Amino acid sequence: NAGVTQTPKFRVLKTGQSMTLLCAQDMNHEYMYWYRQDPGMGLRLIHYSVGEGTTAKGEVPDGYNVSRLKKQNFLLGLESAAPSQTSVYFCASSNPTGTYNEQFFGPGTRLTVL
């Protein structure tokens, strides 16, 4: 199993450009998440999905959109990139079993917006 994979690993954008980050998981997990990590701020939840065709806003959703057309994929879109969106983006997936919800993380995408 590859686990959680993210494409691309690195990307540089100019202000105003658009792009899509792809997250894929092969563990048949129901839940998927997108986070951003900034220095000194830990990980903050952007959007998440509790199943195919459903999405919800997290803590910092502004400027991002997501889609979950297939259970194994979760896409994060930036329609008009801004320098404030320079960050490392992590995708995670989990199954809501038992009393905890262990999330498995991808390796991250480092995005720079100039």
Partner 1 sequence: AQSVTQLDSHVSVSEGTPVLLRCNYSSSYSPSLFWYVQHPNKGLQLLLKYTSAATLVKGINGFEAEFKKSETSFHLTKPSAHMSDAAEYFCVVRWTDKLIFGTGTRLQVFP
Which stretches of the chain bind partner 1, using CB under 8 A? 4, 31, 33, 40-45, 48, 50, 58, 90, 92, 96, 98-103, 105-108
Minimum gap (Å) between residue 100 Cβ and partner 1: 5
Minimum gap (Å) between residue 80 Cβ and partner 1: 27
Q: Rank residues 10 and 28 by Cβ distance to partner 1 and give the closer one.
A: 10
Minimum gap (Å) between residue 79 Cβ and partner 1: 24
Q: Rank residues 18 and 101 by Cβ distance to partner 1 and give the closer one.
A: 101
Cα torsion at 108, 58, 55, 70 (round to 10°)? 10
Per-residue HEC secondary structure of 37-100 comes to ECCCCCEEEEEEEEECCEEEECCCCCCCEEECCCCCEEEEEECCCCHHHCEEEEEEEECCCCCC
